[in-house]
Structure 1
Amino acid sequence: MLVPLIGVAALTAAVTRTRMSEAASAARAEAAVRAVAQLSAARSGVEHEVIPALSLAVLADPAASELLGLGPFVGQLQRTLATGATEETRAATDEALARVPAGSQWSTAAARASERLAGLRRQADAGTVPLDDLYDSYLDISDELTRAQAAAAEAATAEKVSVPTYRATRDVELVAQLAQDASRQMPLFLGTQLSRLVAGETAESFRAEWEIAWVDYTDARRRMEDLSQPALRAAWERVQTTPVFARVDGLLAARAEGADASTIPMIELIGLVNQALDRDAVLTEFLEDATDTAQDLATVDHARAHDLQSRTLLLGGALLLASVLGALLLGRMISRTLRVLAARATQVSEGSLVEVEIAGPREVRTVSTALDATVASLRRIQDQAEAVARGDLADPVLDQPLSGRLGEVVHASVRQIVHAVRQREELQSALAHQATHDPLTALPNRAQALRLVTSALHRAQRSGQMTGLLFVDLDGFKGVNDSHGHASGDEVLREVARRMTAVVRPGDVVGRLGGDEFVVLVEQVALERDLLDLAERLIGAVSAPIDAAGQQVRIGASVGVAVSRDAGTDADALVAEADTAAYRAKRRGRGRAEMFDEALRLQLTAHAELEAAIAYALANDEMQLHYQPVVDVARDRLIGYEALVRWERPGHGMVRPDAFIPVAESSGLICDLDRWVLGAATRQLAEWRADTPADQPEPTVAVNISGRHLTDPRIVEDVADALEASGLPARLLTLEVTETVLVSDPAAIDNLAALRDLGVAIAIDDFGTGYTSIGQLGHMPVDTLKIDRSFIASTDPGHRELVALMIRAAHTFGLTVVAEGVEEEDQLARLKADACDQAQGYLLYRPMTAADAGALLRPVELLATD
């Protein structure tokens, strides 16, 4: 019985709270409307202070009175009148501000306006405020009160008020806007007429602001057509027909439309100001009427809401009493049946989906039937949840809909869950495939290939069988990319992947390590010959013509074969062995297969040992620099050096650069080697420079930068660090790079441009041995071209002509030319005849130690002094 009683009580309380809320809202609306009237009166008072204040500011200056044509008597009389008007308007404004109740929502705005007015009045009385600033200050205070008035009107309309009250409040806002726009016209118009006193930008400002104010005023008058109350519209018609209203608006309209641009005499202007004040008073009275009407309507709303609240309380009490009596009678009738139903409902709420008996009065049977249907729906939901939980997404129960709107929502949720689970499984599968497979060929990628090799080695360790790995390196693939484009190259790689997959056994794995490198993992190898036979079949399949973008292309393959017999080799080592064998296959003519044997194992071990020795040498200062001088061909004078790295390896003697630099290049140590050379060369040249007289030419130093280091994003930072540590000017450092690096890697061009921005010079080393055309020189960020020694040493007349052409082309693009490998006198003579700039070679100087190279600077200094 308590359930319906509580419901009735709650409903009664809710309705009562609603009525109380409506009454409170009506009271707030009434207070807000009253605040609109109070703030409007305060704003009107502030705006009425403007004209007397402006008049006093003008009349206080005797020169201004004389300029306006006012005699002493008339000027004194006008000051007296303006003073009286000022005191009167100030008193009216203070009274209006005081009527705003303290502690109300809008009292803060009124108090702030009072405080600002007091300060402004003191400044005006002291005559320290310029005319335009005085008006702007009053206008700011008026705007602040206008915003408070608008907030009060918005608060009134936001409450639960009747439609008439809402419309009356909106009418108050329209009339208040009209009164505000009207009161702001005369000060601005007065400023336009007193332009002799406020000439220049201030006068123009008054004229522009008055024209804007007139447009706002005319818009406000047009909006009077939107007044919702007939009585207010009639009052507006009467206001418009008042003589003072018509006279003031007529004169101002003529001025605004440009019909009359003459200056109004001062006496007439004073009369116009007084008439404008009378017009503003008419509008203020009109606004008070509108406000009174809105306030009366708000009061009526408040009274009506309070009365409705009282009647609701009485009705709610009566309804509650009737409900109690009805509940007692109904309880006697159905309490026994309800106890049984309640027990079933309790079991259902606890999760036991029991059968519900349908018995008792009609109402109870209806509830029992609904509960039984709910239990049936819950059973179906339970079956669907169990199917999802065990992952049986194909169970037909998942497709069975549930009854009712809630059933539709629940069934839709189940279907969304099923769909989400399926999507997650598909996404997990796709992500797993993407993480382990090459996107271009769909073959296992490097990481997955290494994991598969590791797993195969573990299985071989248990079974005792051999595991084979074939490293397939394509021959001529770069030519396909260069000649037919990367799209054709991608198609070739996909076709190669398909052919290799078709050649191997079903259990073998084909993977792509990257670029044009593939691997084939073969388990349970019986004989090494079988792996070589497979390699030959792969070479034959890859070498067949391939259709790419409508054209036939041919490539080849070099294959390296490695075998793990005892599973003691890890995956990385097995790949390295196969790679080494493939490298030997390339060196021996390409298009063939090579088995990794003991000779290669020793070579690989020696490579690793040399790599470790290079790292040790860099860490323990075993490296040293030799310097080969560079000579100015025309003047036969030393102008710089090329720094050449040398390695005196303990226990091995001097190691040739071509023996250890390729190892450093392949291992990544080349970047560390370049950093060491940069630091040592710049420090050495800085020391020589410190000993060179200030009037002597400063030598330069050239340092070779590897292609791998040049494409490293840290190259610019490395060069900058070396220059900063040594104190060497960037203009004395030249970085030499091979032309093949410039052609093969676009990142190298960007890094070279950044290095040139540091101030260092860039030289193309061994020019003529790569693929750079002469026409490309003008677009490359380089300063110097170094012609390869093979062209200088050649006796072929065509090569001699080519050298002359290179020199002329380089000079055309503003480049300096250096000839390398000059070893004979006639070579030097030809270079001088061809206007080559610089040269180096054994004929001139061999590479020498730092001490010997530094000694060359002293004779040059003495020769220059002589």
Structure 2
Amino acid sequence: MRLRSAFRTAGRGFPLWVYLSALVLVPTIGVIALTAFLVRSAVAEAATATSAEAAVRAVAQLDAARSSVEHEIIPVLSLAVLRDPAAVAATGLPSALVQAQLAQSEGALAQSQQVTDDALASVPAGSVGAEVAERAAAQLAGVRAGAAGRQDTPQDTYTGYLAVSDMLTAAQRDAASAARGDEVSVGTNRATRDVELVARLARTASRAIPLFLSTQTTLSGTDGPALDWRAAWRTYTDARAQMDELTQPALVAAWDAVRTSETLTAVDDVLAAQADDASAAPISILQVAALVSQNTDRDAALTGLLQTAVGNAQAAAAADHEAADGRRDRTLLGALGALLAATFGAALTGRSISRSLRVLAGQADRVSRGELVEVEGGGPREVRTVSTALGSAVASLRRIQAQSAAVAEGDLSSPVLEQPLPGPLGEVVHASVQQIVESVRERERLQFALTHQATHDPLTGLSNRAQARVLVNAALHRAQRSGAMTGLLFVDLDGFKSVNDGFGHAHGDAVLQEVARRLLATVRSGDVVCRLGGDEFVVLVEQVAEERDLVELAERVVAVTARPIDIGADQVWIGASVGVAVARDAGTDADVLFAEADAAAYRAKGHGRGRAEVFDEALRAELTARAELEAAITAALRNGEMQLHYQPVLDVATSRLTGYEALIRWNRPGHGMVPPDSFIPTAEATRLICELDRWVLNEATRQLAEWRAEDPAAADRTLAVNISGRHLAEAGVVDDVLAALAASGFPAELLIVEVTETVLVDDPAAIDNLAALRAHGVSIAIDDFGTGFTSIGQLRSMPVDTLKIDRSFIASAEAGNRELVALIIRAAHTFGLTVVAEGVEEVDQLELLRADACDLVQGYLLSRPLPAAAVSSFRDGAHAPVV
């Protein structure tokens, strides 16, 4: 009955043709989608080719306009010469000939202007470069008016024409870039690149002659700077050399014909001779006229070459368009054929499968009605397999029927009862249940392991930072209910870095594991030890009776940590500075308790390390004052309270002013001028120091750039700026320096970044950033050399240009101090470094430094750090240095 009910239920499903139709429809949709994608891609390629062709056409139109604009320059310059009495007198030409030449130049100018107007008007509205052509026409009208009214000098007129030409040149480059791209074929890209090369050659060729002619005649009333025609000549020769990069054989052949033609060589030979001999005499007026005529022929030849290159590029783009259309058509035809083949094949296969399945379905229906018929089937292998399976089921049913009959008849000894039924369901279900139970248990084990990994340190097995915060929060909540005190010990290892540096990280890991074991053995059974990361641990202590108990525990931690640690054959020593914080009220949260314990540990380190300190009201007041100072520094940057003073740096040998060191000062409202030592350490403890560094960089480079503009003598003066180690370790410090230089226009080669010795020794990231700054032209100086741990031998491998000797060595009266200073100077010079002596306050000190060949000095003897307003008087000699 169940089998029959199942077949009846199955009969209410969808017929086979629905499923076969779905099997055909799904790939058909995929084919259609793929075809649509390919067709869309082909259409996009065709559109790209059309755009490239239009862009190349725009290159030609814009180049024609640009060439016409530049051709106006020669008749304009000729008129300027012919209308200038002094220039006409210098030529020695008869007046009648001058008047004839004047009329000829006026006609040439009118013709050139008409050609230019036609070229600009030929750029179709709405096309690439149309907007630039309109703006160029408007700007050109102003240039012509200034030249016609003689309000502008020839140099100004030429500069005006050049500005219009540059506008068209920029638009021409943009059009060429639009014609090139990732979606354009390699052939079109190469052809477009050839157009750019030829256009650049034509552009540079047309600019050299007007500049050259402007140097052949001196006009009266012209006192502006001479235009450098040799620079234009060098640009032209560079463009001519780049023509070797042409890729199209036909264009290369055309260029070979133009390059060797008399039209090109005649002009180039004259300019080359004048360029090679700076003392060459100006050419005669007849030679000028011939050169102008030859230049016109040369420009025409180069214009023809450009038209050839443009035609090739347009042909390549048109070929791309045709190829894209062909791919589109082939894709559509192929997809149509595939769809027809798939539909026909599906129809044949469906007919065969349907016939076989109808036979099998009829037999299955009879079985569902209780008729245990013989099952036979043909058709595909899968249908035969189903027929075989159904036959086996019928055989099993016959066996059950036989066993049922034997039982019904009471024949319990019948051999049929001895035959087991296939697939004992009970055993399968039981095995399945056991497998499910085992799977659940395995999932619980994995879940516990993952939870442990997320909350514990993998190296020591202690709770990690995130879990420590959770545990402290929970302990504080319990203390809130019970009213008991909760303590937190912040353990910061002393000397751990030297273990890593001296023995390697494997030894460092072993040290951390041993410290964890010792801490666990030292604390009470209910206390919790956590590792925050690095060499920092915390101990959470609940139910604290007296603060003294926490101090005693902290002292035991210091003692057990100070014992030597054996690691293999090596023995290392470290220590611990412990900060103790106590939560006595319900208002304390975990973050506050962590901050208080950390601050106490910091004070322990400051008091000599290897000791314990308790967070008290004095430390709380110190933290409050630090937070207030940080807020005040932030407000000072925002409100413009920070100032820069500039201490001059002088050359020892000549007493010449060579540069300045920028030093920050804070004019704090209500406090007056705050010395840097009072706020820089607080800023260095946070990211505020980076903000201060950025402000100093921007303000100092801006000020030096302003002085350079005001005083030509300040053009080579350097600027030294201190940058903190924290800022140098950040990835963005190079961008900060380059952004300040770009915003101010101050040259990178005049900027000196001063760093401390510890930055160069301790921080590889800072060294990499300093090397990157040097690659951009910025100089690097070691500040306060001699107070750190840098050896003289290390200087050869450091990214350093300047060494600044600390003022303590300059001011010291010890017997061997002068020899030490002299040794440092000689060693620095050996490595090619510049030496600056700081803190020079006495004439004798300056004389000794001069005798030791020190390069530069700064100090109160020469000048105190000056506000920006006072630096000008120093430059003018009001504060002359002692020599």
TM-score, structure 2 normalization: 0.53
* CA contact 1:792–1:820 (8 Å) conserved in 2: yes
* CA contact 1:488–1:549 (8 Å) conserved in 2: no
- Measured after TM superposition, the shift of residue 854 of structure 1 is 3.3
Q: 1:679, 1:461 → 2: CA distance?
A: 52
CA deviation profile, 1:647-686 (whole Å, cap 9, x unmatched): 1111222222112111111122111111111111111111
- Measured after TM superposition, the shift of residue 826 of structure 1 is 1.4
Q: 2:710, 2:730 → 1: CA distance?
A: 35
- Measured after TM superposition, the shift of residue 855 of structure 1 is 3.1
Q: 1:679, 1:459 → 2: CA distance?
A: 53
After the TM superposition, which residues 209-288 of structure 1 pair with which residues of structure 2 at under 5 Å, given as runs? none
Q: 2:518, 2:674 → 1: CA distance?
A: 45
- Choose which of 730, 752, 759 in structure 1 pairs with 2:748: 730
For 2:606, the equivalent position in structure 1 comes to: 587
For 1:452, the equivalent position in structure 2 comes to: 471
* CA contact 2:874–2:880 (8 Å) conserved in 1: no
- Measured after TM superposition, the shift of residue 373 of structure 1 is 4.3
* CA contact 1:356–1:371 (8 Å) conserved in 2: no
- Measured after TM superposition, the shift of residue 559 of structure 1 is 1.3
* One-letter amino acid of the structure 1 residue matched with residue 469 of structure 2: L
- Choose which of 476, 479, 495 in structure 2 pairs with 1:476: 495
Q: 1:488, 1:799 → 2: CA distance?
A: 41
**3-state DSSP class of the match of 1:722?**
helix
Structure 1: 5+ residue stretches without partners? 6-12, 14-312, 336-348, 350-354, 394-417
* One-letter amino acid of the structure 1 residue matched with residue 747 of structure 2: P
Q: Does 1:785 align with 2:829?
A: no
After the TM superposition, which residues 484-499 of structure 1 pair with which residues of structure 2 at under 5 Å, given as runs? 484-499=503-518
* CA contact 1:692–1:698 (8 Å) conserved in 2: no
* CA contact 1:638–1:860 (8 Å) conserved in 2: no
Q: Does 1:751 align with 2:782?
A: no
- Choose which of 612, 618, 631 in structure 2 pairs with 1:599: 618
- Choose which of 449, 453, 460 in structure 2 pairs with 1:434: 453
Q: 2:460, 2:697 → 1: CA distance?
A: 42
Q: 2:720, 2:788 → 1: CA distance?
A: 20
- Choose which of 650, 655, 671 in structure 2 pairs with 1:631: 650
* CA contact 2:683–2:689 (8 Å) conserved in 1: yes
Q: 2:368, 2:788 → 1: CA distance?
A: 105
- Measured after TM superposition, the shift of residue 798 of structure 1 is 2.4
* CA contact 1:511–1:518 (8 Å) conserved in 2: yes
CA deviation profile, 1:213-236 (whole Å, cap 9, x unmatched): xxxxxxxxxxxxxxxxxxxxxxxx
- Measured after TM superposition, the shift of residue 591 of structure 1 is 2.1
* One-letter amino acid of the structure 2 residue matched with residue 506 of structure 1: S
Q: 2:866, 2:744 → 1: CA distance?
A: 22
Q: 1:325, 1:448 → 2: CA distance?
A: 68
**3-state DSSP class of the match of 1:576?**
helix
Q: 1:782, 1:845 → 2: CA distance?
A: 26
CA deviation profile, 1:667-718 (whole Å, cap 9, x unmatched): 221111111111111111111111112x665211111110000000000111
Q: 2:462, 2:366 → 1: CA distance?
A: 81
For 1:687, the equivalent position in structure 2 comes to: 706
**3-state DSSP class of the match of 2:521?**
helix
* CA contact 1:763–1:783 (8 Å) conserved in 2: yes
Q: 2:366, 2:695 → 1: CA distance?
A: 101
Q: 1:477, 1:330 → 2: CA distance?
A: 82
After the TM superposition, which residues 161-560 of structure 1 pair with which residues of structure 2 at under 5 Å, given as runs? 359=403, 373-374=422-423, 376-377=424-425, 379-387=426-434, 392-393=437-438, 418=439, 425-560=444-579
**3-state DSSP class of the match of 2:578?**
strand
Q: Does 1:703 align with 2:724?
A: no
Residues 630 and 331 (structure 1), Cα distance of their counterparts in 2 relative to 1, 3 Å cut: closer
**3-state DSSP class of the match of 1:493?**
helix
Residues 331 and 571 (structure 1), Cα distance of their counterparts in 2 relative to 1, 3 Å cut: closer
For 2:816, the equivalent position in structure 1 comes to: 798
- Measured after TM superposition, the shift of residue 367 of structure 1 is 12
- Measured after TM superposition, the shift of residue 563 of structure 1 is 0.3
Q: 2:363, 2:813 → 1: CA distance?
A: 129
* CA contact 1:470–1:519 (8 Å) conserved in 2: yes
CA deviation profile, 1:227-270 (whole Å, cap 9, x unmatched): xxxxxxxxxxxxxxxxxxxxxxxxxxxxxxxxxxxxxxxxxxxx
CA deviation profile, 1:39-65 (whole Å, cap 9, x unmatched): xxxxxxxxxxxxxxxxxxxxxxxxxxx
- Choose which of 844, 851, 859 in structure 1 pairs with 2:862: 844
Residues 533 and 357 (structure 1), Cα distance of their counterparts in 2 relative to 1, 3 Å cut: farther
* One-letter amino acid of the structure 2 residue matched with residue 581 of structure 1: A
Q: 2:626, 2:644 → 1: CA distance?
A: 23
* One-letter amino acid of the structure 2 residue matched with residue 511 of structure 1: C
- Measured after TM superposition, the shift of residue 358 of structure 1 is 6.0
Q: 1:480, 1:356 → 2: CA distance?
A: 81
Q: 1:472, 1:828 → 2: CA distance?
A: 50
- Measured after TM superposition, the shift of residue 380 of structure 1 is 3.8
**3-state DSSP class of the match of 1:664?**
helix
After the TM superposition, which residues 656-675 of structure 1 pair with which residues of structure 2 at under 5 Å, given as runs? 656-675=675-694
* CA contact 1:626–1:644 (8 Å) conserved in 2: yes
* CA contact 1:649–1:655 (8 Å) conserved in 2: yes
* CA contact 1:584–1:594 (8 Å) conserved in 2: yes
Q: 2:528, 2:570 → 1: CA distance?
A: 30
- Choose which of 582, 589, 595 in structure 2 pairs with 1:563: 582
RMSD: 4.0
**3-state DSSP class of the match of 1:542?**
helix
Larger Rg over CA atoms: 1
Q: Does 1:856 align with 2:874?
A: yes
CA deviation profile, 1:516-541 (whole Å, cap 9, x unmatched): 22211111111111101111111111
- Measured after TM superposition, the shift of residue 595 of structure 1 is 1.2
Q: 1:856, 1:328 → 2: CA distance?
A: 117
CA deviation profile, 1:338-397 (whole Å, cap 9, x unmatched): xxxxxxxxxxx9xxxxx98863579x99999999544x33x44444444555xx32xxxx
Residues 857 and 559 (structure 1), Cα distance of their counterparts in 2 relative to 1, 3 Å cut: same
Residues 632 and 509 (structure 1), Cα distance of their counterparts in 2 relative to 1, 3 Å cut: same
- Measured after TM superposition, the shift of residue 821 of structure 1 is 1.1
Q: 1:326, 1:746 → 2: CA distance?
A: 80
* CA contact 2:780–2:800 (8 Å) conserved in 1: yes
Residues 634 and 439 (structure 1), Cα distance of their counterparts in 2 relative to 1, 3 Å cut: farther
Q: Does 1:764 align with 2:782?
A: yes
**3-state DSSP class of the match of 1:797?**
coil
For 2:666, the equivalent position in structure 1 comes to: 647
Q: 2:430, 2:775 → 1: CA distance?
A: 73
Of stretches 548-557 and 831-840 in structure 1, the one that deviates more from structure 2 is: 548-557
- Measured after TM superposition, the shift of residue 448 of structure 1 is 2.1
Q: 2:367, 2:586 → 1: CA distance?
A: 91
* One-letter amino acid of the structure 2 residue matched with residue 807 of structure 1: I
Residues 368 and 698 (structure 1), Cα distance of their counterparts in 2 relative to 1, 3 Å cut: farther
- Measured after TM superposition, the shift of residue 460 of structure 1 is 1.4
- Choose which of 746, 768, 792 in structure 2 pairs with 1:774: 792
Q: 1:474, 1:761 → 2: CA distance?
A: 37
**3-state DSSP class of the match of 2:861?**
coil
Residues 332 and 776 (structure 1), Cα distance of their counterparts in 2 relative to 1, 3 Å cut: closer
Q: 1:326, 1:427 → 2: CA distance?
A: 48
For 2:308, the equivalent position in structure 1 comes to: none
* One-letter amino acid of the structure 2 residue matched with residue 846 of structure 1: R
For 1:812, the equivalent position in structure 2 comes to: 830
After the TM superposition, which residues 19-30 of structure 1 pair with which residues of structure 2 at under 5 Å, given as runs? none
Q: 1:366, 1:618 → 2: CA distance?
A: 103
* CA contact 1:358–1:369 (8 Å) conserved in 2: no
Alignment length, in residue pairs? 505
Of stretches 759-768 and 854-863 in structure 1, the one that deviates more from structure 2 is: 854-863
CA deviation profile, 1:533-585 (whole Å, cap 9, x unmatched): 11111111111111134222222222111000113122121111112212222
TM-score, structure 1 normalization: 0.54
